[in-house]
Amino acid sequence: MLVDTQPATHQHQPASPEVRDLWVNARLIGVLMNNMGSSVFASVLSLPVIIFLLAGEVSTVALVVWALLVFALLAFRYRLISIYQVQYDSYEGPHRQAFADRYGWTWTASGIVWGSVTLMAYLQASISVQFVCGLLILGQGILSLGSYSAYAPAFKGYLNALTLTTGVGIVVNLGLNDWAYVYLHQTAALLILLGIFWHLTFKMGMRLNAVHRASFELQFSNEELIESLTQQTRASLRAVAAKNRFLASAAHDLRQPVHALSLYADWLVTEPEMSKDIAPRMLQSTRAINELFDSLFDLTRIDAGNYKVNLQVVDVRHLFEELVTQFAPVAANKSLSLRTYAKPRSIWADPVVLRRILGNLVSNALKHTTKGGVLVGLRQRESSLVFEVWDTGVGIAHEHQMAIFQEFFRVSQHQGTEDSLGLGLTIVSKLTTLMGYQLAVSSQEGRGSVFRVMLPAFTQSVGVADSVMPEVLLESDFGEVK
C-alpha cells in the first residue's frame, strides 16, 4: 500500500474565467426564458390587432400566410418554454448553453416575422394603418429591452432581424410603386429614424445586459467567497480538534513516565538501599520523557517549516552500521536478529533526516517483533532507490495501515504498544514528505511487515546497489510479505 504522506488540504481554488462565464451565461439564459412567457403573451395580443387593421388593406393571401407563420412561431416558442422547464431548468452550465445554441434561431426568426409587417403595409395600406403598424413594430423593439436583453445573443438576433427586415420592407415597397417618389424624402427620414431607433435600443439593451451580467458575476463571487470561508472554517475546526487530540494524547503519555518517576523518587527517599533497583527504572522513565519531548519538538519543527535539510553524500553501508550500533542492544535484549544488506553505494541525502527515518522504522519494527528479527536493506528499482525495513512481528491489519501514521495512534491489541508513544511513524511520514520521498507499507497480520522508503533518481550518487535482495534471506528468515 502506497501511503499518501502529503497533508490533506482542502483549499478552495478560484474558478477559472471559463467556468465563471459558463455559470453566468446559464443564469442569463434562465432570466431570458423566465421572461419569454410575457413576450409571447404580448405577441399573441398584437396578432389579432394587426390582422384586423390589415384586413381589406393588403393582399389577403399575404396576410393569411403571414398570420400562419406568426401563429406557428408563437406556438413553437410557447412549446419551447415547456421544453426548457422540463429538460433544462434544473441544470446549469453547458446544458443551458446547449439549449440556447440549439434554439437561438427562434429569436431571429421572430424579429424577421414581425419586421415583415412593413413589407405588407408600407405604402400599401392607409396612412393611419401604417402609423398603427409602425407603433406596434416600435413596441416590439422596445419589448426586446425587457424580455431579451438579459442574454445578448438573443437580444442582438431579435433586434437586428426586426430592424433590418423593417428597413428592407420600406425600401422594397418604395421601389415597387411608381408614384412612391413622392414619399422619397419621407422614406429617407423614416430610414434615418429607424437607424436612430436601432442604435438607441441596442445601446440601452447592452447596458441592461451589462447590469444583468455584473449582478450574476457578483453573485458568483459571493458564492465562491462563502464556499471558501466554509472550507476554511471546517479546516480550522478540524485543526482545533486535531490539536486538542494531540495535546490530550501528549499529556496522557507524558503523565505516565512523570508519575512513575515521582513514585520511584519517593521510593528512593524512603528506601535508599533499593537505589540499585530503582535507578534503572528512573533512568527508563527519564528516557521515555526525553523521547516524547524529542518527538514533539520534531513534529513542531516540521509543521512550522523550521526543519533544516543539509544534503550531502551519504555512504549507505556506514549509515547501516550506525543503525546496527544504535539498535543492536535492543535487538539482543529481545533475542532478535538485526541485519542489514546493501552493496557499496553513496547517495545524495541528509544523513540526519535519513537516519531519523530509518531509525524510527527499525525502532518500530523491534517494538512489535517478539521472535525472528529485523532486516534493513537497499534495492534499486527502475529509476528509484528503495530502503526497506522488514520484520517478522505481529503485522498490521489492512484497516489500520493508513491510521498508523497519525499522531499517537496505536493498535491496542498489539504487544509492545503499551510503551509506544505513537509518534515514530508520524515523524517518518512527515520527514519523507519533507524530503520528497514516497512511503509504502505492506503487511499481513501474524506474518510481519515491510516499510519502503522510495528515493527519486536524483538522489543517486556513486556506486552500484543490488537490484534484488537475496530472496532466501527474506523468505526463509522473515516470511514473504505481499
Q: What is the pLDDT of residues 333-391, one digit of tens each?
A: 889 999 998 888 888 888 888 888 898 889 888 888 888 999 999 988 777 789 999 99
End-to-end Cα spacing for the chain? 10
The yes-or-no verdict on residue 466 having pLDDT over 50 is: no
Q: Flag the least confident range among 99-113, 126-140, 391-405.
A: 391-405
Q: Which of 254, 263, 295, 256 is nearest to 282 (CA)?
A: 263
DSSP 8-state assignment for residue 15? P
Q: What is the mean pLDDT of residues 102-126?
A: 88
Give pLDDT tens digits for 68-89.
Answer: 999 999 999 999 999 998 888 8
What is the share, in percent, of the chain residues with pLDDT greater than 70?
76
Which of the listed residues 278, 304, 330 is the one where a domain comes to its end? Answer: 304
Give pLDDT tens digits for 160-218.
Answer: 999 999 999 888 887 766 555 566 778 888 889 999 999 999 999 999 999 999 999 99
Q: What is the mean pLDDT of residues 256-281?
A: 74
Which of the listed residues 281, 304, 327 is the one where a domain comes to its end? Answer: 304
Q: Do 171 and 266 have their domain in common?
A: no
Give the CA angle between residues 359, 469, 314 to the nearest 5°: 45
Which residue pairs from 305-308 have beta carbons closer than 8 angstroms and sit at least 24 positions apart in sequence? 307/353, 307/431, 307/434
Per the structure, the complete domain to which residue 270 belongs is given by: 246-304
Q: Flag the least confident range among 257-271, 296-310, 331-345.
A: 296-310
Question: What is the rounded average pLDDT for all residues in the chain?
Answer: 79
Q: Do 368 and 276 have their domain in common?
A: no
Do 388 and 469 contact (CB within 8 A), yes or no? yes
Q: Which of 419, 427, 400 is nearest to 253 (CA)?
A: 419
Do 392 and 477 contact (CB within 8 A), yes or no? yes
Q: Do 37 and 171 have their domain in common?
A: yes
Q: Do 44 and 112 have their domain in common?
A: yes
- Has residue 234 been placed in a domain? no
Q: Do 130 and 147 have their domain in common?
A: yes
Q: Do 167 and 191 have their domain in common?
A: yes
The yes-or-no verdict on residue 462 having pLDDT over 60 is: no
Scan for cell 497480520, then name that residue: 445
Q: Categorise residue 69: left if φ over 0, alpha if ψ from -120 to 50, beta otherwise.
A: alpha
Q: Do 171 and 320 have their domain in common?
A: no
Q: Do 255 and 375 have their domain in common?
A: no
- Has residue 236 been placed in a domain? no
- Global pTM? 0.54
- Has residue 220 been placed in a domain? yes
Dihedral, 373, 378, 381, 384 alpha carbons, nearest 10: 130
- Has residue 4 been placed in a domain? no
Task: Tell me the CATH number at 450.
Answer: 3.30.565.10
- Has residue 237 been placed in a domain? no
Q: Do 185 and 41 have their domain in common?
A: yes
**Cβ-count burial 280-293 (b if 16+ within 10 Å, e if not):** eebeebeebbebbe
Q: What is the mean pLDDT of residues 117-139?
A: 84
Which pLDDT score is estimated for 472? Answer: 38
Scan for cell 553505494, then name that residue: 345
Which of the listed residues 304, 323, 345 is the one where a domain comes to its end? Answer: 304
- pLDDT band at residue 246 using 50, 70 and 90 as cut-offs: low
The domain total for the chain is 3
Q: What is the mean pLDDT of residues 238-260?
A: 63
- pLDDT band at residue 20 using 50, 70 and 90 as cut-offs: confident
- Has residue 11 been placed in a domain? no
Q: Do 220 and 297 have their domain in common?
A: no
- Has residue 238 been placed in a domain? no
Q: Do 205 and 320 have their domain in common?
A: no
The yes-or-no verdict on residue 323 having pLDDT over 80 is: yes
Q: Do 269 and 320 have their domain in common?
A: no
- Has residue 344 been placed in a domain? yes
Scan for cell 394587426, then name that residue: 50
